Amino acid sequence: MCGINGIVSKKKDKLDIIKNMNKRLNHRGPDAEGTFNSEYVSLGHKRLSIIDITDTGNQPIYNEDKSIVIVYNGEIYNYKEIKEELSEYKFKTNTDTEVIVHGYEKWGKDILNKLRGMFAFILYDKNKEELFIARDHFGQKPLYYYKDDEVILFSSEIKAFLEYPKFNKELNKDLLGAYLTFSFTPTEETFFKGVYRLPAGNYMTVDVKTNDIKIERYFKLEFNSTDKSYETMVDEIENVMKDSVKHHLVSDVEVGSFLSSGIDSSYLVSLSKPDKTFTVGYDIERYNEIDYAKDLAERLGIKNLSDKISKEDYIKALPYVYYYLDEPVTDASSVAVYFLSKLASKNLKVVLSGEGADEFFGGYNSYDDNIYTKLPLPIRRFIASICKHLPKNKYTNYLIRRGLSLEESYISINRNFYDDEIPYVLNFDTYIKNKDILKDTYEEYKDYNKLNKMLVIDIKYWLTNNIFNIVDKMTMAFSLESRVPFTDIEVFKVSSSLPFNYKIRDGQTKASLREAAKRSIPNESYKKKKLGFPVPIRDWIRDEDLYNDIKETFNMEIAHELFNHDYIIKLLEDHKNKVRDNYRKVWAIYSFLKWYQVYFINNGELSKLG
């Protein structure tokens, strides 16, 4: 796990800029630093040593005649197997990085079809005067780029671009409507105008003489239902998960694991049996998972280290969380992952984490069809039209959502504001419409069944742009590598073949995964319903201290400029007075404004955060 930077330009000061960009990414790689500089290209690397922890593993890494150079972030879990296919090359290191270099020499861009892991890399082919830049299948590792008339910039994190003296830091307010609805930034565009993320499963080539950019997809999400028996597929899930965990444990340093009360992390811990596991919770009992985690750890004979997060510590951490995230998210669990990472980083460098299981195996409750959804759509539309005029709660929201076709209603698992609310929230009407964000994806997968369409949306948008952004940025804030064995290309090959009734069965989500996990988990965690990272934000917002801070934040000048001030204050007051449960909407606006304060008022300077 590392941080990478790149510049394409004829500017003479490229190397100085790269070194400053590297400093911005110290948290991603405190163990070593490296740079490369040529007429057209400069590359930078910050290293967190995991594989081949000697100096020979430092980057950039070259091929034998130094015509190819790479900076790389991630882990290739099958690098030893690939290395056996490259026996004609002389390896100078024991790293997985060098496998990409020689693999590119042998197979060109087809090397991507052989990689099993999480990765983002920038490879410079001097003979072609071309950059080859790629991101892993599911977007576990981030990669951003920015282009103006003089340079093209690349980095693991947007904040590194602030070190380019001519970087035009401008708010991309057109994304605000999408953010409020999706609960994160769902597009290739970011909240920094002119900054884009390379999509997951894509690669980019750059002609370093002309600065021409070309982006192509090398991996497509595809689902094909098997005709194998349920019992056979449970066996296959068990086998592929054991294999994935085995590969994800390959390391020259100790590997621990995050542990909550749910099936996903419990299964990983039961398979991997790490020496140390880590859990965070809260003083409010219904939000606390520590006792569940300790029970499993005791049954397995391993250690569980835990910590409780106070409201005061949670609020104090917010500016740092938004700084490391680069962009705002409404997911309040991001702060919990921040504290969890902080706890783990005091003990080791690598942890396993359970992301991807819900999106691969059908874990969210909304995936389960029920009798109501069997009613004809016109009847459900009529009921929804009535509910739109009633007070909003989980029941009316459900009926509204089910009164629309999937393409009209489903944007991802964690919808916040509805489309017809956005004009009342924002003070401008030039925002990107949600239907325009998703229409190409829905068109591409129009022949898929309902569940698989939802899984595509959630993997492509929710998992990649929200969950992995949070996990990568929060762990790397503390120089900690997170590995996610569920989000593995071999695991996906199995999960993508499961029919609906192997995923949702007798009213239970993730049915076949639970059956496989049952064979390894020594308690009843495999039965638990999806909780996520429960956070007491709903209660805390009603406390005077946080309520007053939110109200003060809602009175910022930028809040008056972007939002309908009376409307957002009413959202806050109605929640405070228990008229309506608006905590997610209030938190979304508050999070955006706190993020704006970090990057556009404090200029993204860590020293100004407190």
Cite the active site residues: 2
In angstroms, what CA-CA distances link 139 with 411, 470, 485? 19, 12, 14
Q: Which of 521, 204, 30, 277 is nearest to 22 (CA)?
A: 30
- Residue with the two structure tokens 């509805």: 418
Structure token pair of residue 534: 């429960």
Neighbours of 314 (CB within 10 A): 21
CB 573 within 8 A of CB 585: no
In angstroms, what CA-CA distances link 341 with 156, 158, 166, 335, 345? 19, 21, 34, 10, 6
- Residue with the two structure tokens 């990409």: 100
Structure token pair of residue 148: 């103006």
Q: Which of 251, 284, 281, 266 is nearest to 521 (CA)?
A: 266
CA distance 324 to 96: 27
Q: Going by DSSP bridges, is the β-strand pair 255-258/350-352 parallel, antiparallel, or unpaired?
A: parallel
Report H helices in 110-261. Answer: 176-182, 230-248
CB 470 within 8 A of CB 331: yes
Q: Which of 33, 57, 54, 55 is nearest to 45 (CA)?
A: 33
Question: Which amino acid belongs to residue 517?
Answer: A
CA distance 33 to 35: 7
In angstroms, what CA-CA distances link 278 with 249, 274, 378? 17, 11, 49
Distance of CA 575 to the CA centre of its chain: 29
In angstroms, what CA-CA distances link 251 with 61, 77, 248, 267, 302? 19, 9, 8, 20, 19
CB 241 within 8 A of CB 490: no
